[in-house]
Amino acid sequence: MAIRLPGMYGLIVRKNERTREFIDEDRRRFIEFWQARAEDVNEDEHLYGCRAGMNGWAAESTCEALIKRGMVRGIDFVLTASGEGVLDEPHPLWLTMTLAPTGNPPELEAQMDPEVREMWENSRVKMYHLTPGS
């Protein structure tokens, strides 16, 4: 399975003992605030995705709060931006990015004008999953 790139500035959090309490709290807040269902939460068995803030300052503040809770940036979580993907360098080896399908049949994509095809390629959603063997 994979999770979507969180909107705005976000976090991709690796599920482990150090992150469990934060994930449980954030999941509960998300469901209550958005009146969402559990299946609407951006997570799989290994990763959890959530918003970190509307701007870079708020996102960095969220990262600092997680570090104070004992989490390690780059090991337990990474900062993301909706237009760019993972912001933290170096990109962690435990996290792999793939692009979601465009939804177009391959025969249609083969016939597309190159500029139109590029537009479709650029609109593909970034999906993240735990790198096998991590």
For residue 82, count other CB atoms closer than 10 A to its CB: 14
* CB-count burial class (<10 Å; 0-12, 13-18, 19+) for 78: buried
Q: In whole angstroms, what is the distance from residue 84 CA to residue 87 CA?
A: 7
Mean pLDDT, range 80-88, rounded to an integer: 93
% pLDDT > 70, the chain: 100
Measuring CA to CA, which residue among 133, 127, 123, 121 is closest to residue 96? 127
Cβ-contact 63, 94 below 8 angstroms = no
pTM: 0.87
Of 63-67, 69-73, 109-113, least confident by mean pLDDT is 109-113
- Higher-confidence residue: 1 or 52? 52
Residue 116 has pLDDT above 90, yes or no: no
Q: 């959530």: which residue's tokens?
A: 50
Whether omega before 90 lies within 30 degrees of 0, making that bond cis, reads yes
pLDDT of residue 63: 98
For residue 102, is pLDDT > 90? no
In sequence order, what are the residues at sequence separation of 6 or more whose Cβ sits closer than 8 angstroms to the Cβ of residue 38?
27, 31
- Report the distance separating Cα 108 and Cα 128, nearest Å: 27
Confidence at residue 107, expressed as pLDDT on a 0 to 100 scale: 87
Return d(Cα 81, Cα 84) in angstroms, integer: 5
Calculate the average pLDDT of the chain: 93
Q: Does residue 100 register a pLDDT over 90?
A: no
